[in-house]
Structure 1
Amino acid sequence: MSSATWQQFLISQSAQFNDSGEAAFITPDAPASGQLFDLSSNGLIAVSGDDALTFLQGQFTNDIKLVQEAAQFTGYCTAKGRLLALFYAFSINEIIYLQCPRTLIPELVKRLRMFVMRSKVVVEDVSEQFVILGLASADSAANIQHLPLHAHQSSQTPFGTLIRLPDSHGKQRAQLIIAIAQAEQAWTTLAATFNPTDSQQWDALEIQAGIPQVYKATQEQFVPQMVNLDALNGINFKKGCYTGQEIVARTHYLGKVKRRTLLATLPDTETAPQVGDPVLDAKQQEAGQLVRVAPNKQGGWSLLAECRLEAQSAGSIYWQEYELVFSELPYTLA
């Protein structure tokens, strides 16, 4: 079964897809204990071979050797320390998988292969081989069966690998990585307990958890600390050299980070805010840009905005003429 066939199956389950490949479900909510999300707008890169760990250790911000113990956030930078991608990395059967927006994957695979040289490493786009589903529940852990105790830990289920994600907005969350041949059966089984829910609502949960992302519009815009990758344990400052390491380390050791990604909301707006849009300070000067955006249930927008902390402390921050309302992140910034 291909991803196109998977989409057709979801359409038969009342899904509609937007241009970004995000699913919306037009059926009314039915009584259920949780929510089920199609996360097919994410793709996967598989990295395997005898030298895979050593190779990736020289590419990414985090200690990739620890990925065999737990999943992790990690950044992929240019030599100037700017993020090309923010991966959620995990290991299944000694293969390392790198999850990010599917639209980025072809160029990232090409770039990674450039640096393989003579190493025993295979880098593949395996997005067509798997389906990623999201699960969220506000009830007890028993509602998400096989749920690990701690975030980023994984467990095996009859359908595939389940990885617990950081909780968000009072909900426990996990993602399930399924071989595409089993995806229809998994969806049908899970939909008996979990309501199929719009993918954009998953994005809103990610935003509430303070999880940033890098998209085409924001590639090479951020040093990792600007999107709080250090606060998410996505940078290891003791692991040694990797591409962009000098800039990332200098930002860490030479003083407080002056730009951070903050959690905020916007009211209903005439036009939809977009990732990469500038945000302005009280003097209408550029203060940063939008990192992640999703509609919220209150009719406005949930978002993560990268911003100069000095500007945010000095007064209001705006997207167009609308003022951002900031909230506390669920983690502490240094």
Structure 2
Amino acid sequence: MSDWIETLDGRRTGEDRVTFDHPDPARQALDASVVTPLAHLGVLDVYGADAERFLQGQTSAQLSLADGHYAPLTCFCTPKGRMLANAQLLRIAEGHYRLLLHRGLVAPLAKHLDKFAAFYKAELEPRHDLALIGLIGVEARALAEVHFDVVPPSLWHQAGNEQLQVVTHPGPRPRILACLPEERAVEIVRQLTAQATLVGNAAWCLHDIQSGLYWLTPHHQDALLPQMINWEALGGISFKKGCYTGQEVVARAHFRGQVKKRLYRAQLEGDRLPEPGAAVRDANDKAQGEVLAAELDAYGQAEILAVLSTKEEIGPLSVDGQALKLLKLPYPVERLDPEALAEQL
């Protein structure tokens, strides 16, 4: 665990999970404003004279849109179109870009990209010296403005400077993510706890589930097409840019309608959290998909994101003996061009 989290008396209950003494983080986030260390996320910086040109050939984002205001979602794929990581892309300064992604994929992605960076004036640096803090609740924007000294931007946009960046994420409650040096994190979190409850990052992960937003983990690396997590419906794929690794397969799947599995949001009738990869089974015990993420909601029931067959009639479903009820996604499953998102203020 990072020293700054230990200083706040956080406890690790898994490689990417932190808890505090305040129980029931989901209920806390529902009833009030909360602050949480985002220990499951990490940072990878890409910088150099050729950083933009290098990334343009590797990522699904149109790099010219990442202008220091719009911070697009993106993904990195194999030549077969399977995702190695998905991320949010920030422009920190000229020739300096920052990727926010699952912490377990920072090192593997850096190793993968380094093979291509050798042909460019570009360098990769995992940033273990940076902290990520999340704010959730009706007061999240106001708290961010006071304590981070920046007006929070619109969805998938960034604000701040080279030392501190703030981005806005979707959710049933307002959500603000801040990236800043670790040495400042403890002081700012302690200031925030005067008005927001300090909770574990399960609260943030639950809001991701309720937003229909999945961050790839090592468990599903090199296994899913971007469309299988509805990435094009979130503006995570530019179909107007030139070639990038995996682009041909991703584009073909889109234009020919060949995506046979999609991301669904669901609730289980029980409080047992399934493991990532747990099978979603039909009435005949046949696997129709698998669980990607799971968290307990404010009422003690398991909510999940799962990749399921797009067949219209697959009947009753269950996970580990718990009946599954499909829930509505908060967005239409259709193409959303990042070029349109970039124009929003």
1:158-237 correspondence to structure 2 within 5 Å:
160-166=164-170, 168-169=171-172, 171-237=173-239
Deviation track 1:69-92 (CA, whole Å, cap 9, x = no partner) reads: 311211111111001111121122
Counterpart residue number, 1:20: 15
Counterpart residue number, 1:111: 112
Q: Distance in 2 between matches of 1:21 and 1:234?
A: 24
Q: Distance in 1 between matches of 2:250 and 2:230?
A: 12
Counterpart residue number, 1:134: 134
CA-based RMSD: 2.2
Contact 1:137 1:144 in 2 (8 A): no
Counterpart residue number, 1:65: 64
Offset at 1:256? 5.8
Q: 2:159 aligns with which of 155, 162, 173?
A: 155
Offset at 1:159? 7.6
Deviation track 1:187-240 (CA, whole Å, cap 9, x = no partner) reads: 111111211112111100111111112111111111110100000100011101
Deviation track 1:111-152 (CA, whole Å, cap 9, x = no partner) reads: 1100113311011111x1100000111258434423434102
Q: Distance in 1 between matches of 2:73 and 2:163?
A: 24
Number of aligned positions between the proteins = 324
Counterpart residue number, 1:4: 2
Contact 1:213 1:292 in 2 (8 A): no
Contact 1:213 1:291 in 2 (8 A): no
Counterpart residue number, 1:309: 310
What TM-score comes out, normalization by structure 1 length?
Answer: 0.91
Contact 1:34 1:138 in 2 (8 A): yes
% identity of equivalent residues? 28
What TM-score comes out, normalization by structure 2 length?
Answer: 0.88
Contact 1:229 1:235 in 2 (8 A): yes
Q: Distance in 1 between matches of 2:118 and 2:165?
A: 31
* Structure 1: runs of 5+ lacking an equivalent: none
Offset at 1:246? 0.9
Q: Distance in 1 between matches of 2:71 and 2:283?
A: 40
* Structure 2: runs of 5+ lacking an equivalent: 335-345
